[in-house]
Chain A
Amino acid sequence: MLDVNVIRKEFPIFQRETKPGTRLVYLDSTATSQKPLAVIEAMNSYYHHSNANIHRGVHTLAEEATALYEQARVKIARFINAPSAHQIIYTRNTTESINLVAYSWGRANLRPGDLVILTEMEHHSNLVPWQILQAERGIELDFIPVTDDGLLDLDAYTRLLSRGPKLVSFTHMSNVLGTINPAAAIIRLAHEAGAVTLVDAAQSVPHLKVDVQALDADFLAFSAHKMCGPTGIGALYGKMELLEAMPPFLGGGDMIKEVKLRSFRANTLPYKFEAGTPAIAESVGFGAAVDYLVSLGMDAIAAHEHEITEYALERLEEVPGVKLFGPSAQNKGGVAAFTLDGVHPHDVAQILDQDGIAIRAGHHCAQPLHERFGLPATSRASFYLYNTKEEVDLLVNGIYKVKELFG
């Protein structure tokens, strides 16, 4: 089990009060996680001691910076059990990772009329890149429906697969419903139908043990900032033969072997996809975040979150007027999206903020999913390794306060 009291002391931000006389109750880790001192210090130390551009110099600092950048890549590769660090491409975030696949693999492999299967519970980052390709290339999009319980309708998925899709791109864990989708089964079925798969793992990699080889994922995308790391860096994992065959994404320095006035030869993996000076300090922070999560143990993190989530759902269900969305705790990560009768989610969030409780209100970049449930917006509390049951109690007390105010 996690010792949350010790963990909380490792996050400097928990020492501050956002409102005088309150403690910070941070329940918005689905948007971005807080950062432990180990991550902040690793980035700080990089700028104090090792800052230089990578892959370009022979001087000591350049070599050190390059080594740190590449060591972090190895840590990230091991963390998701990638066969090789060359299969980890640094990007800005999950969104850019998905766009990389759409831009490079999609433009090289998708033809007019080709079918791409998505789901109704996708974040905008796994909808819009494919909509852009739809407009540009005339590909077809179809969607695995979401049941009233917030699960994917797998019978409908099987029917969609009979239409011979080229790609199935889906979220491993919904950022609104919290649903943990059966990724291995979805991928196996897709492969049987001859489709390539892309997993949006922005919400799963920070919270669950993710093994790309066990999943047999073709592509898998995630961000550092949701897993205790810095903003501005993420990763794309891909199977070697797919990445090798793909044309470059962005053009510029570092992604080339040789440049002439009218032509270039692309670099080998992963540099082929890493044009320009990357987020070097952030890669160091990303590596430190992986070290931090590994030191706690992903199984312990998942067990802790499960316990908090179960408790939160139980407490929230007791509040008259609260309606929860998504599956039961069994199939769910640390997310509780809810509405409160007669009060708009923005008002709920704003009133909670007065007591230092940070939740998110809105459509959480999943407008089609909200439309599916006939809602313009929901309130969302989300939990991570540093949250406690006491914080769930403060949330519930806060909601009672909102009810009182709106009487």
Chain B
Amino acid sequence: MDDLYREVIIEHYKNPGYRGHLDPHDIQFEDNNPLCGDHIEITLRTDEQGNVADARFDGHGCAISQASADLLMESIIGKPIEEVKKLSKQDVLDMLGIDLGPVRLKCALLSLKVLKAGVYGLGEASDSLVE
């Protein structure tokens, strides 16, 4: 079964390395998945070169949504913001290493949606950001 619940996912869900809230921060954004009530907040610090200096996520939800948020934070630290803007759905799926049905895909992509709305400075997170 438990392809969906690979060890890496359970591990990042139970012991996230990047759960928290950065204060002060340069970028902050949060959103819900209205279907299941999952909630993700992301805070980032950037350096003078335009790289992500530090990143944290907070919130609640299923293992897929929380693990993908943790993996995503881990992956963007040190990266240029311009590169973060280009992250795609496939990048997140590669990190998770699983195939997901349409319902759980929304769980997996919530953190990316929130991250991209934040780095683009948008007022609202839209699904089109992660297509």
Residues on A facing B (Cβ under 8 Å):
342-347, 350-351, 354-355, 361-363, 367, 370, 376-377, 405-407
- Taking A376-B60, A405-B10, A406-B14 as contacts, is the C-beta distance between A347 and B36 under 8 angstroms? no
Q: Which residue of A lies closest to B7 (CB)?
A: A405
Give the residues in chain B near A377, CB-CB below 8 Å: 36-37
For the complex of A and B, 8 pairs with smallest distance between CB atoms: A354-B1, A376-B37, A344-B62, A346-B62, A347-B63, A347-B62, A362-B36, A377-B37
* A233 to B10 Cα, complex, angstroms: 43
Instruction: Decide: A405 and B60 in contact? CB cutoff 8 A.
Output: no
Instruction: Decide: A362 and B35 in contact? CB cutoff 8 A.
Output: yes
Give the residues in chain B near A407, CB-CB below 8 Å: 10, 14
Instruction: Decide: A347 and B5 in contact? CB cutoff 8 A.
Output: yes
Instruction: Decide: A405 and B5 in contact? CB cutoff 8 A.
Output: yes
CB distance from A367 to the nearest CB of B (A): 8
Give the residues in chain A near B48, CB-CB below 8 Å: none
Give the residues in chain A near B1, CB-CB below 8 Å: 351, 354-355
Give the residues in chain A near B25, CB-CB below 8 Å: none
Instruction: Decide: A362 and B10 in contact? CB cutoff 8 A.
Output: no
Residues on B facing A (Cβ under 8 Å):
1-2, 4-5, 10, 13-14, 35-39, 60-64, 104, 107
Q: Which residue of B lies closest to A354 (CB)?
A: B1
Partner of A361, one of B5, B10, B36: B36
- Taking A346-B36, A361-B36, A362-B36 as contacts, is the C-beta distance between A405 and B2 under 8 angstroms? yes
CB distance from B101 to the nearest CB of A (A): 9
CB distance from B37 to the nearest CB of A (A): 4
A-B contact pairs, 6 of them (CB 8 A): A347-B63, A350-B62, A351-B2, A376-B36, A376-B60, A377-B37
* A363 to B38 Cα, complex, angstroms: 11
* A345 to B35 Cα, complex, angstroms: 13
* A351 to B39 Cα, complex, angstroms: 21
* A354 to B35 Cα, complex, angstroms: 21
Instruction: Decide: A344 and B63 in contact? CB cutoff 8 A.
Output: yes
Give the residues in chain B near A342, CB-CB below 8 Å: 14
Give the residues in chain B near A355, CB-CB below 8 Å: 1
Instruction: Decide: B37 and A406 in contact? CB cutoff 8 A.
Output: no
Give the residues in chain A near B63, CB-CB below 8 Å: 343-344, 347, 406
Instruction: Decide: B104 and A350 in contact? CB cutoff 8 A.
Output: yes
Q: Which residue of A lies closest to B103 (CB)?
A: A346
Give the residues in chain B near A344, CB-CB below 8 Å: 60-63
Give the residues in chain A near B14, CB-CB below 8 Å: 342, 406-407
Instruction: Decide: A406 and B10 in contact? CB cutoff 8 A.
Output: yes
Q: Which residue of A lies closest to B1 (CB)?
A: A354
Instruction: Decide: B2 and A362 in contact? CB cutoff 8 A.
Output: no
* A119 to B123 Cα, complex, angstroms: 35
* A342 to B10 Cα, complex, angstroms: 11
Q: Which residue of A lies closest to B35 (CB)?
A: A362
Give the residues in chain A near B2, CB-CB below 8 Å: 351, 354, 405
* A351 to B4 Cα, complex, angstroms: 9
* A257 to B47 Cα, complex, angstroms: 75
Q: Which residue of B lies closest to A362 (CB)?
A: B36
Give the residues in chain A near B107, CB-CB below 8 Å: 346
CB distance from B12 to the nearest CB of A (A): 13
Give the residues in chain B near A370, CB-CB below 8 Å: 37
* A361 to B38 Cα, complex, angstroms: 12
* A221 to B46 Cα, complex, angstroms: 57
Partner of B5, one of A345, A351, A376: A351
